[in-house]
Structure 1
Amino acid sequence: MMLEAVELTKHYSGHIVLDHLNLQVKSGEVFCLMGQNGAGKTTTLNLFLGFIAASSGQARVDGKLVALGQQVPDIAYIPEVVMLYPYLSSLENLDFFSRLAGFRYPKDKLCDYLRQVGLQPEAFEKRVGQQSKGMRQKIGIAIAMAKNAKVILMDEPTSGLDPQAMYEFNENVRAMREAGKAILMATHDIYSAVHSGTRIGIMKQGTLVNTLRADEISANELEKIYLTIMRS
């Protein structure tokens, strides 16, 4: 199992933000976590990344226990706003972050990664600060691919994307799924959850209250289930 939460719990000064979460994501799966702000989605990602310590329970990546501040191998993180160097080009950012992860590629291989995620060739040498959010998200995915990450965590990656950019992003997620990546994505985007996910978990007040198969439900049905849970 590539990602596993076992009774994973986090509280601050007695306030529970994540309550005994049990979750598994295997290779070739996209698990979409949905819920209102404060439901525990980002806390879950932060625990898997080792950014914060669990109050109890375990977070495991590829069978290895994650500890606070520990560098987690084989994992890539794509946040809502991908943090890149604005004065470097797409190629320069990809090269820099690949080297940081211990990988050195010739220019033609770096270009291949950017092509695979759908970035247009004219953007390869363009400064990232001059590019749209959708284009920066593609660079973030290219970095994850170049790092050869087995596990990819995403936090609201489609927020603020226009319909075309959202479609292209979901195509990239499906491609990563088919390549055997294990993906955990926190999202408010019902369309993306249904069309690029394999399973969908709905969280409320720190608890995973429902899990659904994406191929057995439509976006309209998911919306109704989600709203019913939020209103209960």
Structure 2
Amino acid sequence: MEFIRVNDIEDPLFAKMHTLLGEIFPPEEVLDFDLWKEPLEDPSIRVFVAVQEGEVIGATEYRYYPDWNIAMTDFTIIGQSGLGIGRFLAKKREEDLQRLAQENGKTLFGMFAEIYDPYDREDFDFGGVMAMNPYVRREVLSHLGYKRLNFPYIHPSWKNDGEAVEGLDFCFMPTDEQVTEIPSSLIVDFLTDYYSVLSNKPQHWLDMIDELKQLEYVDLCPL
């Protein structure tokens, strides 16, 4: 299995990855094909695919923010069960992020992720791949060390239609397991930057950001 970076919309591996995205995730979570051009060319956005015998069987997108010394996992896709794809992607991503943090003269503080909450919403199919089942994924991410940030979370739809996407938790995996809270300002700064590409924000999201600004810290809770 190979871990190959994709940074060109014309790369045949990207077309295969985008097809896999559409098979696994609901439509509101998938950016249109043509809109991937600039993100792929952005050096701070790291998109890698797991390739076996020329086929894309998994993928992950993440990014490192040197000013905040944190990372964000955008998505992880496991296209087939029983091949160890999840472990392979997680280890390769961790190695890459630790290297980036070291180049920044630091030890990675932690990593954000959005996690589906199947206890709130159960209408997720995820292409019928059981490894992508939200119950399974939630437990795997808990094992990795992710904690739920204790506030009601929604995010703007990637369709940029002004709709709010619910049924998720916003989580953080601290490198130091003794960390039990993080500054609210870090969450606000990160989310404002992360969703700056979307011009049409739902009012519900704007209200959530305003409420976070009133807090000093947000607790990390078990998933």
TM-score by length of 1: 0.29
Q: Which has the higher contact order (CA 8 A, sep 6+)?
A: 1
TM-score by length of 2: 0.30
